[in-house]
Amino acid sequence: MTKIIDGKKISQEIKDELKAKVLSLKAEGKKIPCLAVIQVGNDPASTVYVGNKKKACEYIGIGSKSFELKEETTQDELIKLIDELNNDDEVTGILVQLPVPKHIDEDTIIRRISPQKDVDGFHPMSVGALLIGEDGFLSCTPQGVIQLLKRSNISIEGKECVVIGRSNIVGKPMAVLLLRENGTVTVCHSKTANLKEVCKRADILVVAIGKPKMINSEYVKEGACVIDVGIHRMENNKLCGDVDYDDVAPHTSYITPVPGGVGPMTIAMLMSNCLKDA
Ligand code: GUN
């Protein structure tokens, strides 16, 4: 029997745990975290994401400051704001919503955020800490996948884990986190030979390729657990993932739906990062 992993429910549980943590911080008179969210330009998808992040802060009871900068904002102006927020003791987390407009260099911006406030976990210091197992902010989506697995009682230790995709934000940190949980990890990408055969080895298959419905049942071992990180809007306006859900689901033990799987976990883990050192 296939079990559908309910990311909406699990993310709600996490947010409620965090809300309780904030209440006890308040009761103890401790400092309440505050997330600064910066959006440059008005990409509609980014506006939705940023709005959801602010709502989540409100829900769990932490502070948020929002900076909506116009598309023409220069890199120097953005850097000046980041520097101010780095030095603002009230602000404990800083997030610049990506993508930024083309005239701004994303890597420069990511590196400018203080690693102590890098709640996205994108700074090279955060990524390096992850790689060598030191304390630091973990990238939200991969951390969310680990939580989905743990809270569904799916053990990772000793399992064949295959990650499809090698982005800095998902694929690479995902592979490292699975390794940290003692999985045996293979990372696949566009140049991987015999992709189907490699994927078919997986007990846990994490798909983050960015191609709608690319993974069908030919890539999946009977009884595997399939985690779909992709999200795409189809012509009929419905959302789908990188996995052909209807074809794959009957062959799995566990699967995440799109929407309602990995997606809601990203914001829950962002909130968790905001409270990491509180
Ligand atoms: N754009 C899409 N996903 C993300 C994310 O997790 N963080 C930021 N900062 N921008 C994004």
Return the HEC string of the chain.
CCEECCHHHHHHHHHHHHHHHHHHHHHCCCCCCEEEEEEECCCHHHHHHHHHHHHHHHHHCCEEEEEEECCCCCHHHHHHHHHHHHCCCCCCEEEECCCCCCCCCHHHHHHHCCHHHCCCCCCHHHHHHHHHCCCCCCCHHHHHHHHHHHHCCCCCCCCEEEEECCCCCCHHHHHHHHHHCCCEEEEECCCCCCHHHHHHCCCEEEECCCCCCCECHHHCCCCEEEEECCCEECCCCCEECCECHHHHHHHEEEECCCCCCCHHHHHHHHHHHHCCCC
Task: Please report the atom of ligand 1 found closest to the CA of residue 270.
Answer: 6
* pLDDT band, very low/low/confident/very high, at 14 (cuts 50, 70, 90): very high
pLDDT digits (tens, 9 = 90+) for 185-219: 999 999 999 999 999 999 999 999 999 999 999 99
- Give the ligand 1 atom nearest the CA of 140: 6
Mean pLDDT (whole number) for 63-70: 98
pLDDT at res. 245: 98
Q: How far is the CA of 101 from the centre of ligand 1 (A)?
A: 14
pLDDT tens-digit map of 95-151: 999 999 999 999 999 999 999 999 999 999 999 999 999 999 999 999 999 999 999
List the strands of the sheet with 224-228, edge to edge.
3-4, 252-255, 224-228, 204-207, 160-164, 184-188
Catalytic residue IDs: 53, 97, 120
Mean pLDDT to the nearest integer, 258-272: 98
Protein residue closest via CA to atom 2 of ligand 1? 98
Confidence of residue 61 (pLDDT cuts 50, 70, 90): very high
Give residue 173's pLDDT. Answer: 98
Give pLDDT, residue 150.
98
> CB under 6 Å to ligand 1: residues?
95-98, 120, 140, 266
State the closest ligand 1 atom to the C-alpha of 95, by its place in the atom list counted from 1.
9
- Angle CA 35–41–47, to nearest 5: 55
pLDDT of residue 186: 98
Q: pTM for the whole thing?
A: 0.97
Nearest protein CA to atom 9 of ligand 1, as residue: 97
pLDDT range class, residue 244, cuts 50, 70, 90:
very high
Question: What distance in angstroms lies between residue 97's CA and the mean position of ligand 1's atoms?
Answer: 5
- Crossing angle of helices 171-180 and 140-151, in 10° steps, is 40
Residue 216: per-residue pLDDT: 98
Residues of the chain with pLDDT > 90, as a percent, come to 100
CB 206 within 8 Å of CB 164:
yes
User: Rounded to the nearest whole angstrom, what is the distance from the C-alpha of residue 46 to the centroid of ligand 1?
Assistant: 8
